[in-house]
Structure 1
Amino acid sequence: MIALGAWQLQRRGEKAALVARYAANLNLPPMAYPELAPVPAEAMFRTSQVRCLRVANWRSEAGRSAQGRSGYRHIADCVTGAEGPGALVDLGVSSDPAQQVAWNGGTVDGVITTEPNHASLIGRLFTREPALRPMLVATAPATGLAASAPPDPSDVPNNHFAYAVQWFVFAGAAAVIYTMALRRKSKSGSGS
């Protein structure tokens, strides 16, 4: 358990470096949109551009507008060529998850992130989930939508310190229980 706690402290440093990399990416010049998952660290939070030939499918997800209002993000699953994975584009937020978005495609500028992750914490522990696809969060919303909150590296959780403390507490509790068991055994052995 102590080794697991030490490992979590190491992961804390690695995650902090990754978040710093993401923050630095915000200031780098635009790059080509990564078509395949997983999204490389050098692409996360970079500006990019996607040419959507047509929208194959729409979906709505819980989200927030750039002004901080809760709502539903409208995500277009775009066709970008004759074949290939296409692109996911978050075109903005509305209060209605069923709102019809009058947008059929075009060139979109935005910030690269990943698609929403719907796996539960328990599910992530016991199953190998597929890598999340890249998604572009549009800088300018589609007509009738409010701009989605831009991806922010500070939203990437770094809770490895809490996990480390948890493992050290477990190790301490195990040591106390073991010590109590040894004392009880020695008392019962000396009384016979």
Structure 2
Amino acid sequence: MLAAVATMVGLGIWQLQRADWKNSLLASYEAARDKPAISYPAVPVEDDPSYFRRSSVNCLEVIDWRAVSGRNANGQAGWAHIAHCKTSGGEGPGAHIVAGWSKSPEDPEWGGGLVDGIVAPDSQYMVRLVASEPVAGLQKSQEPSTDDVPNNHMAYAVQWFLFAGIALVIYFLALRGRNKAASQA
């Protein structure tokens, strides 16, 4: 039991360390907003994906669309329209561009062009560019925010410390019950 409690305390400490790491990462993302624009990361680096930096990309051709739940600049819920674009002669991963927002999930009519915006996290492709100005008659999407990046390591740390405390209480209650039973026998 004591080994299990030690493991839980260790996991709690690890989550505290991860919380410090995540807070410094989020601070670097916030600082990225003030840095100069970069080239769109054709092949993002996992350790430094350039999130929240200004960038631009030339969408030569829209290969495909996907609509995901999103919000417009006013916070209204609807659909963010993400264009998968060809950016060069067919080599490379291309680019994923949040072209704008609408109330309908139907694909907009847009063949491509130069888009300025902010590099943001993408659950499927690591990065996407959120257009500063919408295209194809769409409305402006909500700007990416570090508030949308999950940061729940402190809650996990508290959870592990509570598990350890509860395990100790149960262990001592079990020992007390066993000692009472032994003294009555």
Task: Report if TM-score (shorter chain) is over 0.5.
Answer: yes
Equivalent residue runs for 1:63-82 within 5 Å: 63-82=70-89
Paired residue for 2:180?
Answer: 187
Which of 169, 177, 180 does residue 176 from structure 1 map onto? 169
Identity %: 46
Any stretches of 5+ residues in structure 2 without a counterpart?
1-7
State the one-letter code of the partner of 2:127: P
Which secondary structure does the structure 2 equivalent of 1:101 belong to?
A: coil
Equivalent residue runs for 1:121-140 within 5 Å: 132-140=125-133
Equivalent residue runs for 1:25-36 within 5 Å: 25-36=32-43
The answer on 1:48 being equivalent to 2:48 is no
Contact 1:76 1:90 in 2 (8 A): yes
Paired residue for 2:151?
Answer: 158
TM-score, normalised via structure 1 length: 0.87
Which of 64, 82, 92 does residue 84 from structure 1 map onto? 92
Any stretches of 5+ residues in structure 1 without a counterpart?
118-131
* Superposed CA offset, 1:94-118 (max 9, x none): 00101x422101111000012245x
Which secondary structure does the structure 2 equivalent of 1:63 belong to?
A: strand
Contact 1:36 1:134 in 2 (8 A): no
State the one-letter code of the partner of 1:35: A
Contact 2:49 2:127 in 1 (8 A): no
Which secondary structure does the structure 2 equivalent of 1:58 belong to?
A: strand
Equivalent residue runs for 1:137-152 within 5 Å: 137-152=130-145
User: How far does residue 174 in structure 1 lie from its aligned partner after superposition?
Assistant: 0.2
The count of residues paired between Structure 1 and Structure 2 equals 177
Deviates more, 1:150-159 or 1:105-114: 150-159
Paired residue for 2:26?
Answer: 19
The answer on 1:114 being equivalent to 2:114 is no
Paired residue for 2:5?
Answer: none
